[in-house]
Amino acid sequence: MSSKAPVAPVWWKNTFFLFGIVLILLAVLGLIRGEAVIRDPGQKFETGLVLFYFLGGVAMLVNGWLTHSQGQQLFDEYVALHGVEEKKTASLGKENSNVDVEEVKDKVGSEEENG
């Protein structure tokens, strides 16, 4: 078992969100300036390219939301199981899970000794 405590997930590190936002921005650009702007070089002419980009972006955002909420749930379960409290960090100024690894080792070690 790893002695490193997990870190609370943050949405902006989830690449599903980043790619979803980029695809939607490209779709908006395609709406404003035309589909030729977002068409790949050598790609044959097809209508509805903006719609494909928009739907792809929405699908990526949904995947991002699902994976982020699942990761957050897993982190919350870990914290509840091991009794590790979240600590505030000076750099972010909000709740984050920069927990003391020695504190986790002590709690896990005492649980293993007690059976």
48-64 pLDDT tens trace: 899 999 999 999 999 99
The highest-confidence range among 25-29, 38-42, 88-92, by mean pLDDT, is 25-29
Residue 30 has pLDDT above 90, yes or no: yes
Q: What is the model's pLDDT at position 52?
A: 94
Reference 95, options 65, 77, 69, 75; nearest CA is 75
pLDDT at 8: 84
State mean pLDDT over 62-87: 84
Q: How far apart are CA 74 and CA 10, in angstroms?
A: 13
Q: What is the CA radius of gyration of the chain?
A: 22
The predicted pLDDT at position 115 comes to: 52
Average pLDDT over residues 16-29: 95
